[in-house]
Amino acid sequence: MDSKEIRKKYLEFYREKGHAVIPSSSLIPEKDSTLLFVNSGMFPLVPYLMGETHPEGKRLCNAQKCFRTDDIEEVGDMRHTTFFEMLGNWSLGDYFKKEQLNWIFQFLTEKVGLSPERLYVTVYRGNPEIGVEKDSESVEIWKGIFGKEGIEAKDVDFAERNGMQEGRIFYYPDGENWWSRTGSPDKMPIGEIGGPDSEVFYDMGEDLRRHENSPWKDSPCHINCDCGRFIEIANSVFIEFVKKEDGFHKLPQKNVDFGGGLERLAMIAQGKESVFECDLFLPIIRKIEQISSYKYRQKIRSFEVIADHVKAATFIIGDEKGVLPSNKGQGYFVRRLIRRAARHGKQLEIAGGSWLSKVAKEVVEIYGEAYPEIKKNSSFVCESIEKEETLFYKTLEKGLKEFEKLKKEKVITGQAAAFLYQTYGFPIELTEELADERGQAVDKKAFYREMEKHKDLSRELSAGVFKSGLADKEEKTVKFHTATHLLLAALRQVLGESVIQKGSNITSERLRFDFSYDRKLTKEEIEEVEKMVNKAIKKDMKVEKKEMPLKEAMDSGVLASFEEKYPSRVLVYSITDRKGNVFSNEICSGPHVGKTSELGAFKITKEEASSSGVRRIKAVLN
Ligand code: GLY
């Protein structure tokens, strides 16, 4: 059964059950900055899951293009991709668990033809801390469904520790069986919706993966293990909850949000072991085999990175709201995808000029009919990819020269690796490989810490921080901006250096500042921070800016929450007292006041949780 047929059968199946087929939305979110890319079919439906009336009714289904940034590092294991197509169906306060679980089982077994014996399911274990019970309702429904097939479905707990225990239904905690756009309950920002889910897994066969050399050979066998025996193919989420400041609350309606990856279903229906061998990938793999002199099975990782990344880049550039490679926001991911693919071309010893666009043409061939926008934009897509690829090969050489300068170092620092990444587009793997060849290590942890700051920046940019207010209020905005620098410096002195900026938003009335910290601040701590900021204001400290190379700024330990917003030269704002003691030193584009005495009295009006591990302070200047 080819993927076109699976897609068609799925939509027909749900249409017969009263669902309206809605089109796939753009990969770039609309009026929503929770994430940079649409990562699921439910993304564009959030307002309707929260109670708004959808013009097409209460039952919807579609095939949606999705991109998941979190999965970038996982590409290469034969089943993870960053771009994928999700088959989805929704009940907006209409049917619930019983219909959903029965229907999806029916679709998988009767329409796709999967054997019930090979299907295993998971349910939510419950979490008293957030006041949500274990999903016994789904367990009973599953028992009935399997029972009709003559399969006794035993429910078991702690399979991750005790193994399969001859179970068919498995309980898992927040990390596995809770779904929201941003993940488990603790990762959800205030206002986000989500709920427990029940997943269906397909058994690829024990022998296939639990072979002699498998790292999982001696660990207990369970559904969510990464060994490859079980593959998740269907996820029914019961979206019933919204996260509020004081915990989880029930939404006004009970919703179903179903998602299933088309590539994985196609892989199983076509009897393949890897998603890269199903018909949505195979022509791409064949093309890469043609261009290089290797076969897929000889260099699995590089083939998969190239195939996945070029496909994703083609879809993002060719999207209705197409995004080009750049240094910020979504464009930053497009750049990363193209450069990483180009670099893996080196692993396959592909010589000569640019070649990625040949791979992109295959992507357009496969998807042009289902997603006409990429066909329409195909020459633009190919040109853009070619341009970026050529640019990368140029900086690659310059970067290699820069890398040569680090020859004498034992360890490549996180900052140096981040510098190579930012300035010359060196993915961390490239730096690692090069370092390895010379017997050097790379401080990867420090590198990722630097990259964390990038993530913050991406969020900041998409949230549109520091949009200045009306002209007559601008002066106030500038004052608040300087006050945030004093606040961050004071927080770090009172709470420690682990505090980093997580976000900021300024209106003419107040400043709002998010920072990393894992608990509520005490009254004394808040007072101390306030006092420290006010002391700095009273001391009439000087605010000065200096332009310098990014590397110099980073090497001197300047706070750099926004560093990649700037190219190789940056502005550093320092706040210093008369004796020359530095109170704050941050990379920032400004503007700022000249002297802290202009600020007036600083007062914290609120300290609260923003999301897990992130606190939010609101403050005013009088
Ligand atoms: N929205 C359900 C899923 O992505 O699995």
pLDDT of residue 464: 30
What is the CA(179)–ligand 1 centre distance, in A?
Answer: 7
**Mean pLDDT of successive 10-residue segments in the chain (622 residues)?**
97 98 90 78 92 94 92 82 97 98 98 97 96 97 98 96 95 96 91 96 80 74 88 97 94 97 97 95 97 94 96 96 85 89 90 92 96 94 95 86 91 92 79 84 88 59 28 65 94 86 81 89 94 94 86 74 53 88 84 89 93 88 91
pLDDT of residue 560: 67
pLDDT of residue 578: 87
CB of 510 closer than 8 Å to CB of 480: yes
CB atoms closer than 10 angstroms to residue 260: 24
Q: Which residues pair with 59 in a beta bridge?
A: 91
What is the CA(304)–ligand 1 centre distance, in A?
Answer: 23
Residue whose CA lies nearest to ligand 1 atom number 3: 259
Q: Of the residues 71, 86, 176, 188, which should be mutated to test ligand 1's pocket, given the most ligand atoms within 8 Å of the CB?
A: 86
Q: Of the residues 67, 104, 257, which should be mutated to test ligand 1's pocket, given the most ligand atoms within 8 Å of the CB?
A: 257
From residue 426, alpha-carbon distances to 116, 340, 358, 430, 549 in Å are: 47, 8, 23, 6, 19
Ligand 1 near 259 CB (within 6 A) = yes
Residue whose CA lies nearest to ligand 1 atom number 1: 259
CB of 208 closer than 8 Å to CB of 164: no
Q: What's the CA gap between 389 and 343, in Å, rounded? A: 9
For residue 66, the ligand 1 atom closest to its alpha carbon is 4
What is the CA(115)–ligand 1 centre distance, in A?
Answer: 23
Ligand 1 near 84 CB (within 6 A) = no
Q: Computed from CA positions of residues 414, 418, 420, 425, in that sequence, does the dihedral angle turn out positive or negative?
A: positive
pLDDT of residue 427: 74
pLDDT of residue 184: 94
Tokens of 242: 């919204």
Q: What's the CA gap between 475 and 489, in Å, rounded? A: 22
What is the CA(445)–ligand 1 centre distance, in A?
Answer: 30
Q: Which residue shows structure tokens 């990363």?
A: 336
Tokens of 472: 């007559």
Q: What's the CA gap between 100 and 235, in Å, rounded? A: 10
What backbone torsions phi and psi does residue 203 show, to the nearest 5 degrees?
-90, 110
Q: Give the residue ranges of DSSP H helices in 348-377.
A: 356-367, 372-376
Ligand 1 near 179 CB (within 6 A) = yes
Q: Which of 310, 183, 288 is nearest to 237 (CA)?
A: 183
Report the alpha-carbon angle 142-4-269, nearest 5: 45
Tokens of 397: 């050489």
The structural domains of the chain, ordered by start, are: 3-275 (3.30.930.10), 281-389 (no CATH), 405-464 (no CATH), 467-621 (3.30.980.10)
What is the CA(40)–ligand 1 centre distance, in A?
Answer: 6
pLDDT of residue 460: 56
DSSP state of 222: -
Q: Which residue shows structure tokens 């596995």?
A: 176
pTM over 0.85: no
Q: Which residue shows structure tokens 């700051």?
A: 453
Q: Computed from CA positions of residues 445, 396, 589, 547, in that sequence, does the dihedral angle turn out positive or negative?
A: positive
Q: Which of 30, 23, 57 is nearest to 46 (CA)?
A: 30
pLDDT of residue 208: 60
What is the CA(197)–ligand 1 centre distance, in A?
Answer: 9
What is the CA(102)–ligand 1 centre distance, in A?
Answer: 18
pLDDT of residue 535: 95
Q: What's the CA gap between 550 and 618, in Å, rounded? A: 31
Task: With residue 463 as reference, give the H or E element that holds it.
Answer: helix 444-463
pLDDT of residue 308: 97
pLDDT of residue 215: 75
The dihedral region occupied by 31, where left means phi > 0, alpha psi between -120 and 50, and beta the remainder, is: left
